[in-house]
Structure 1
């Protein structure tokens, strides 16, 4: 029963993980795709926080030997799929999906529902894009053929998920209590600190959806890797002091308190830099004919990579102890370097603009972002404040505070950037 349930649940979660990033991106403005998905992931973290909180509560109240300590969490989580099934019909279908399947009338109705008076203009833009892609068919086999145009974006998608796994934060998420124990805390204190870490994680995700469309994907990923590398090196130092505290005749709090602060900081660095970005990028770099396949490949690689990390982490814990943090520091550095060299900036550009990168890369004969069109794809585009956002400019020409301010909710319609991207 457990194995059958795991397979069914895996298919369900995998399907949702494929659909939500694509659906979110296709319904969002070009300049707000990151914000929309980061807010979704903040909700995801709330679910993680709630699950751990319920587990801890029932364990403390009922005791680990009581069967309801594991039955109650399983019963409670049924509320969410039931609620999803009850309300999903109220959501509009993706207009791009309608057009791709030849249902133009329904596509226009969906656009009018989502965008109101702008729906007709958007319908024309989507029809123009569809005409360029019409008749193209992309199979999964095509996507792993080096000669096919979708091979390059597929490799980027695969490496994004592998690099996310290399950050090591999947291990921290699963084995949080054990890490706090390694820092010298008792089992119960470690569980409470893990809950506090998840709470901090949830609130810090607000910074992610504010910055992702202001700084861009590349900067968040590279800076996230940098801060995680530093954090894991500090955790290795704190872990070493904790394990040898009797030898040094020091209290467990001396390494435990700074280690906890660093771990909280690392959690925020991962959430802001690496959590939502790697799920967003596949939805932005593929054409409509391959977007679903690209997102599915992303989910598959995510599952395999996290399986490997989750499997290896307890083995490394048992054999390396606190030196495991040095391993994760090194893998974070590798992830950051690869991202800087090979990942194009997809924020602030239309789907079609992002696909042009791969055409230019083929003509240039290089995958290094800095070598393609003078590094143009290494910077984020942003609505130009000098002409009320009618054109896009290098985001570095727009003050950061202005960019951040634009991502915050505003009741003033005059501050909304122009939607004209022609």
Structure 2
């Protein structure tokens, strides 16, 4: 039997809390990975009568449509019922959706299951980074939230290879090729539902609900080894109390505050960042890489094409690790600018290589295929796709979740993150719907289009996004009052925070050391 003391150590460890909540990312990743491989198998195509490009876009887009609605309305339950209970409710919804997909006897039931899964993923994709950012100390906040993206990549990779094995189903049980991977999607949701009971509520949510004693206990457990008088714990308590007191004295209308100019600007940055993350083209590569390689003639048969695509998912998992380890040292701005420029370069090369091949239509079909012309050109194209994925995984993958979750004040954080995440899913739905058609209509021009988007997003980040690394959530008001291109002095921000809140300006001696913070947590 597991001792209570061991369980308490696990459920009060920042890394364990953040990692367990990130099981929700595996749920989303499982859907991407299983579906991206399934759509190429003969079993899927035969059972669902060879869906047209338009219908396939609609099937894939059903998930994103559900995600948009789920993310848009997740702010209310996250504020009303807590981040923790909202995650658990979303897990139940995902289990139901997975059962519907696995049992689907046609496109309508399949789409219903995907919409339900989408509602769940929309909620969790908004609530998990919010929860993680509110429990993590500032020095490793980026690292903790980045685990969400890493869990997505693990879900994609694992489910893809599960699907890869399931494709060998034949005979009367040939539908197992897609029913098995769709059913297995429910496993991480069941684990999240069963285990989340043991983990704490967000301390900032507790404080906002007037449950200050509970908030203090959680902060002490996760940041001070259970010691309420720990210097770091006392500083966080004072800052949280000061911010909540300010909100109350200003008679804040909470959600309506997002329309105020200073917060509307931040909301626009969060929304644009999530939209830009979609316009990198990464999720399209994840969903349709098998179709891309098939169209380009990469691999001699279906199995070789699937293996080439599967390597793509392994690259995604491995290259997210550097972001987890060093994003809190690299900072947000420079990481996003570098990543966008790198992705732009690799997509230009992919589009350029594809433009040099011979395009032709299959006999008896209106589908365009590519004869790429040489092994060297094919290998160069695959390499650039992998390098593009590596660039995204190290930069915009985790930053797309980290930045919006940390820039808003407590009173509007849930609704603001909800809006930005829903923008992500809206564009995800649009792209999933149109990309299969664009792959046939503009062919290599599709990759050049996304290359242009990546260059524009690098410019936008340079001009408008301030650096948030190393500042507490309560200090973001001060950060956003400065020039976004100006490198802020931490001492200035801390002194200004102390002046505004009436806190004695005394910081723990290890407050700016990631390594020492890790020893605390």
TM surpasses 0.5: yes
Matched, 1:29 2:137: yes
Residue 238 in structure 1 maps to residue 349 in structure 2:
no
Give CA deviations for 1:210-267 in whole Å, capped at 9, x if unaligned. 221111111111001110111011111222234369xxx9854221111111111100
Structure 1 alignment gaps of length 5 or more: 361-367, 393-405
> In terms of mean alpha carbon deviation, does 53-62 or 294-303 score higher?
53-62
Which of 127, 151, 167 pairs up with 1:43?
Answer: 151
| Larger mean Cα displacement after TM superposition, 65-74 or 211-220 | 65-74
Alignment of 1:34-73 (within 5 A): 34-62=142-170, 66-73=174-181
Equivalent runs, 1:155-170 vs 2, <5 Å: 155-170=268-283
Provide closer, same or farther for how the CA distance between residues 417 and 300 of structure 1 changes in structure 2, counting only shifts above 3 A. Answer: closer
Distance 2:374 2:509 in 1: 55
Show the counterpart of 1:218. 333
1:233–1:329 CA contact under 8 A, matched in 2 = yes
Contact 1:183 1:238 in 2 (8 A): no
Give 1:161-310 correspondences, 5 Å limit. 161-186=274-299, 187-243=302-358, 252-310=374-432
Where does the alignment leave 5 or more consecutive residues of structure 2 unmatched?
A: 1-108, 361-370, 495-506
Distance 2:448 2:355 in 1: 11
Query: Are the equivalent residues in 1 in contact too, given 2:358–2:372 (CA < 8 A)?
Result: no
Does structure 2 retain, via aligned residues, the 8 Å contact 1:48–1:198? yes
User: Using a 3 Å threshold, how does the CA distance of structure 1 residues 114 and 378 change in structure 2: closer, same or farther?
Assistant: closer
| Change in CA separation of 1:171 and 1:293 when aligned onto 2, cut-off 3 Å | same
Root mean square deviation, CA, Å: 3.0
Match of 2:202 in 1: 94
Q: 5 Å matches for 1:141-160?
A: 142-143=257-258, 145=259, 147-160=260-273
1:364-403 mapped onto 2 (5 Å cutoff): 369-370=484-485, 375-377=486-488
Q: Using the alignment, how far apart are the partners of 2:340 and 2:283 within structure 1?
A: 14
SS in 2 for 1:376: coil
- Deviations 1:366-390 (CA, angstroms, capped at 9, x unpaired): xx623xxxx235999999xxx9965
Report if the CA contact (8 A) 2:350-2:381 is conserved: yes
Deviation at 1:64, TM superposition (A): 11
Aligned to 2:4: none
315 and 379 in structure 1: CA distance in 2 versus 1, 3 angstrom threshold: farther
Aligned counterparts of 2:324 and 2:490: Cα–Cα separation in 1: 19
Tell me by how many angstroms 1:54 deviates. Answer: 1.3
Helix, strand or coil: the match of 1:260?
helix
1:4-54 Cα deviation digits (max 9, x unpaired): 433332221111112110111111110101111112321221011111111
Checking the alignment, whether the CA contact within 8 Å between 2:239 and 2:474 is kept in structure 1 is: no
Q: How far apart in 1 are the matches of 2:198 and 2:408?
A: 27
User: Quick one: distance in 2 between partners of 1:172 and 1:381?
Assistant: 43
SS at match of 1:347: coil
Q: How many Å separate the matches in 2 of 1:173 and 1:250?
A: 21
Contact 2:280–2:450 under 8 Å retained in 1: yes
Deviation at 1:142? Answer: 4.3
2:389 & 2:372 partners in 1: Cα distance?
27
| Aligned match of 1:397 | none
Residue 426 of structure 2 aligns to a residue in which SS? helix
The separation in 1 between residues aligned to 2:203 and 2:461, in whole angstroms, is: 32
* CA drift at 1:65: 8.0
The count of corresponding residues between Structure 1 and Structure 2 is 381
1:203 to 1:64, Cα distance in 2 relative to 1, 3 A:
farther
1:105 alignment partner in structure 2: 213
Aligned counterparts of 2:213 and 2:509: Cα–Cα separation in 1: 30
Matches within 5 A, 1:110-125: 110-115=218-223, 116=225, 117=227, 118=230, 119-125=233-239
Q: Indicate if the aligned counterparts of 1:18 and 1:295 stay in contact, CA closer than 8 A.
A: yes
